[in-house]
Copies of this chain bind each other. A is one copy, B any other.
Amino acid sequence: MAFMIAQRAFIKLYLITMVEQHRGYGYQMLEELRQQFKSHGYAPPQSEIYRALHELVQEGVLYRTKQLKGNDPRVDFQEIVLYHFTADGAEKAKLYKQQVKQDLDRCLGILHKAVNDNYG
C-alpha cells in the first residue's frame, strides 16, 4: 500500500486526457502542464512526461506518428511526435483513469484527514 499517488500515474492521467482532446505533442503538453500547475508550486520535470508517454506506448494505450511541426518544410524542419489511441487504447485508458480516480480519492481522504487531525 503506497502512501501518495505516484507522479508518473498523475502525469499519465493528464496525458490521456490531452490525447482524448487530440492535443499536442510531448513538449507542448509539458509546457501546458507547467503553465497550469505553476501557481500550485509544481513544475513537472521534462523527463517524466516523456517517460510517461513511453510507458503508455509500451502498454499499448497509445501509438506514435511523426510529423513536421511547420507546414512549410523549407522553413521548419522540426520533427514532432504525435500520440493517438490504439484500437483498444481508449478502452484501456478508460480503465486506467478509473483506477487513478480511486487513488486520487484515496489521497484526498488521507490529506483531508491529516488537516482535520492536526489543525484547529
Interface residues of A (CB under 8 A from B): 1-5, 7, 10, 13-14, 16-17, 36-37, 40-44, 97, 100-101, 104-115, 117-119
Contacts and interface: CB of A to CB of B under 8 A. Distances in A.
Contacts of A1: 41-43
A111 B111 contact: yes
Given A97-B119, A105-B115, A108-B112, 9 more contacts: A1-B42, A10-B114, A13-B114, A14-B118, A36-B113, A40-B113, A42-B106, A42-B110, A104-B111
Number of copies: 2
Contacts of A14: 114, 117-118
Top 9 nearest A-B pairs by Cβ distance? A4-B4, A3-B7, A17-B118, A40-B110, A1-B43, A40-B109, A108-B111, A41-B106, A13-B118
